[in-house]
Amino acid sequence: MKVLIVEDDALHRSYLNEAVRTALPECDAVLESENGRLGEIEARKLRAEFIVMDLQMSERNGIEAARTIWRERPDTKILFWSNYSDEAYVRGVSRIVPEGATYGYVLKSTSEERLKLALRSVFLESQCVIDREVRGIQQKGMGSGHGLSDAEYEILVDVALGLTDKTIASRKKLSLRTVQNRLQQLYEKLEVYQETGDDESRYNLRTRAVAVALMRRVLNASAVERAERDLQDDAD
Amino acid sequence: MKVLIVEDDALHRSYLNEAVRTALPECDAVLESENGRLGEIEARKLRAEFIVMDLQMSERNGIEAARTIWRERPDTKILFWSNYSDEAYVRGVSRIVPEGATYGYVLKSTSEERLKLALRSVFLESQCVIDREVRGIQQKGMGSGHGLSDAEYEILVDVALGLTDKTIASRKKLSLRTVQNRLQQLYEKLEVYQETGDDESRYNLRTRAVAVALMRRVLNASAVERAERDLQDDAD
DNA sequence: CAATGATCTGCGGGTTCCCGCAGGACAAGC
DNA sequence: GCTTGTCCTGCGGGAACCCGCAGATCATTG
C-alpha cells in the first residue's frame, strides 16, 4: 500500500507524512509532491490508489489535479485537506468527483485524531468523510434560503469571466432574454440592487454581483481560472 | 522584550514560536493570537512593540489588523509572514505602512535561516527586510512595462467593487469622462479588448478586467473587502 | 517663447445592460 | 378541464457603457 501526499507547504507536508505513517501502519511507502502538476505526474507514474492532497497550490491547484487523476482512474481515493471551507472550493470539488468515487474533505484546523480517522475511513473502508463545517456549506446550495442553484452558479461564473449576455446565450444555447432573467435571479439571491435610488452611489449590478460573490467566498480566483480554461478548451 | 505572534495555523504558529525563541534569546515572552481581531486586542493590551503576523486569516486579515495597530502606535515593528507574494497583498501592505515605520515581508517558503535573520534585522536593527521575490512584485508597479500605476489600481478597485462610472466620478471628484479615460488605460494595461470582433465571444470589458486582475493576482477577495469597508466608512 | 506631451473635460453615437410587461410551453393538482 | 406555477422567449425603452474626436489646462524642454 502506497500513499501519495500532494501539498506545497513543507511543514504541513511533514506533518501529514507523520500522520499517515502512524494512522496507517499497513502502509509501506509515503511519497510526496509539492504541487498539483508534479502530483499528477507522480500519481500516474505510481498508479497511486491513495492520495491526500491540498487545495490552493501554486502551480496547479488540487481541484484541477484531482480532476485529471480521476479521469485516468476514477477509483482513486482522495482525501482533500484544506485551509478553508469556502463555497467555491466545496462546489469545485463536488463538481468533479466521479460517480461512486470515494473521497474526503477535512479542514487543516481539525484535530490530529479526526485526521487519522478520516485517513482510515476513506482509504481502508471506502467511506466518504466530510467535515461537519464543510457539509454545512455543501447543503446551502439546495436549501430554500440563500445559496445558489446550479443554474445561478453557472451564470455567475460566466459573468465573472467577463462574458456578455449575448455570448453566454449562444454558449449555453439560450435566448438572450433567458440569460437576463437568470441574471435577475442571481441579483436577488445575492441581494444586489441599486442601493439608495437617489442620485449617487449606484452599482453596476453585473460587477457588483461578482464582488459580493467574492466576499461571500462563493467565488474565488481559482474558480475563475478553471472556468477560463474550460472556456479556452471548448473554443475548439 | 516581548514578541506577539498572530497566525491562525497551529502548525505555523508553533514553528514561529520556536524560531523566535532561538533567533532572539534576549526575548523573554512570546505571546500568540490566532486571528487578526484577537491580535489587535492583544497588541493593545500588551503595548506590543514586536509583532510577526500572517496575512490571510479568517476573522480579520493581517493587513487590517496591522493598519489599526500602526494607527495606535506607528513605531511598532511588524514582520509579515505570508504564503504568497501576490501583488494584491504586497500593494495592500505598502499602502498602510506609516512614514518611517520598520517592517518586513518574508514568504513562508523561505529557509529557517532567512526567517531568523529577518527577525533579528527587523526587530533589533530596525531594518526593513523584504524578500527578493516580493521586491520584484513591488517594483512592477513603477516599471515601464505592464503593472498598474496608482491611478489605475484605484479605479480597478472601484470597478471591482461594482461601482458605476458616475459614482466613481463623484467619489473621486472627477468628471465622468476622465473616469472613462482611466478605464480605457486600465483595459490596455490588462490587455483586455473585444477579442474576435466577429459576432461571438465578446467580452464585457468592465467585468473582464476584474477577471483578468483576479487571475493575475493583482486583486483578491481581501482587497475587495478592504475597499468595501472604506466605502462604507466614508459614506458617513 | 514655442513646442511637445500628459492629463482633464465635453459632445455624440453606437452598443450593451437592466428590467417591466406579456405571451407561450409544459408539468402538477383540485 | 381549468388553474396555478415555473420556465423560456420577444418587445421596447431608459440608463449605463465603450470610445473616437476635439478643445483646454498644465508641466517640461530646447
State residue B53's pLDDT score: 97
Question: What is the band of A180 on the pLDDT scale with cuts at 50, 70, 90?
Answer: very high
Q: Please indicate, yes or no, whether residues B25 and B136 belong to a single structural domain of this protein.
A: yes
Q: Please indicate, yes or no, whether residues A135 and A154 belong to a single structural domain of this protein.
A: no
Distance separating alpha carbons of residues B31 and A195, to the nearest angstrom = 44
State residue A30's pLDDT score: 96
As ranges, strand C nucleotides with an atom below 7 A of a protein CB are 8-12, 16-20
State residue B96's pLDDT score: 92
Contacts of A208 (CB under 8 A, 6+ apart): A192, B161, B162, B163
Closest by Cα among A108, A76, A102 to A3: A76
Between A124 and A138, residue with greater pLDDT: A124
Q: Please indicate, yes or no, whether residues B133 and B176 belong to a single structural domain of this protein.
A: no
Q: Please indicate, yes or no, whether residues A8 and A102 belong to a single structural domain of this protein.
A: yes
A164-171 mean pLDDT: 94
Decide if A7 contacts A13 (C-beta within 8 A): yes
* Buried b or exposed e, range A45-62, using 16+ CB within 10 angstroms: ebebbbbbbbbbbeebbb
Q: Please indicate, yes or no, whether residues B6 and B84 belong to a single structural domain of this protein.
A: yes
Q: For residue B190, give how far its alpha carbon lies from the nearest alpha carbon of chain A (Å).
A: 13
Closest by Cα among A89, A94, A101, A44 to A69: A44
- DSSP-based three-state secondary structure for B31: strand
Between A200 and B73, residue with greater pLDDT: B73
Decide if B15 contacts B21 (C-beta within 8 A): no
Q: How many domains, chain B?
A: 2
Residue at A145 is within a domain: no
Q: How many CB atoms lie within 10 A of CB A171?
A: 16
> Which residue range(s) make up the domain with A32?
2-139
Q: For residue B94, give how far its alpha carbon lies from the nearest alpha carbon of chain A (Å).
A: 22
pLDDT under 70: residue ranges of chain B: 140-146, 196-201, 235-236
| A142 contact B CB<8A | no
State the helix-helix crossing angle for A176-189 and A165-172, rounded to 10 degrees: 110
Decide if B7 contacts B81 (C-beta within 8 A): yes
Query: Would you give the DSSP letter of residue A82?
Result: E
A174-180 mean pLDDT: 94
* Domain's final residue, options A85, A118, A139: A139
Residue of A nearest to B14 (CA): A11
State residue A200's pLDDT score: 61
* Domain's final residue, options B88, B118, B140: B140
Q: Is A7 exposed, middle or buried (0-12, 13-18, 19+ CB in 10 A)?
A: buried
Q: Please indicate, yes or no, whether residues A39 and A105 belong to a single structural domain of this protein.
A: yes
Residue at B204 is within a domain: yes
**Beta-carbon separation of A166 and B202 below 8 A:** yes
Q: What CATH number is attached to the domain comprising A216?
A: 1.10.10.10
Question: What is the band of A198 on the pLDDT scale with cuts at 50, 70, 90?
Answer: low
Question: What is the band of A150 on the pLDDT scale with cuts at 50, 70, 90?
Answer: confident
Q: How many CB atoms lie within 10 A of CB A131?
A: 20
DSSP letters for B79-142? EEEES---HHHHHHHHHHPPTT--EEEEETTS-HHHHHHHHHHHHHH---EE-HHHHHHHHHTT
Closest by Cα among A135, A87, A124 to A102: A124
Q: What CATH number is attached to the domain comprising A80?
A: 3.40.50.2300
State residue A209's pLDDT score: 97
State residue B141's pLDDT score: 59
Flag whether pLDDT at A144 surpasses 50. no
Place of cell 501592505: B93
Cell of B8: 491562525
Q: Please indicate, yes or no, whether residues A158 and A229 belong to a single structural domain of this protein.
A: yes
Flag whether pLDDT at A193 surpasses 70. yes
Q: Please indicate, yes or no, whether residues A108 and A19 belong to a single structural domain of this protein.
A: yes
Which of A137-146, A179-188, A219-228, B195-204 has the least mean pLDDT?
Answer: A137-146
Residue at A59 is within a domain: yes
Residue of B nearest to A168 (CA): B201
Q: Please indicate, yes or no, whether residues B57 and B135 belong to a single structural domain of this protein.
A: yes
Q: Please indicate, yes or no, whether residues B27 and B121 belong to a single structural domain of this protein.
A: yes
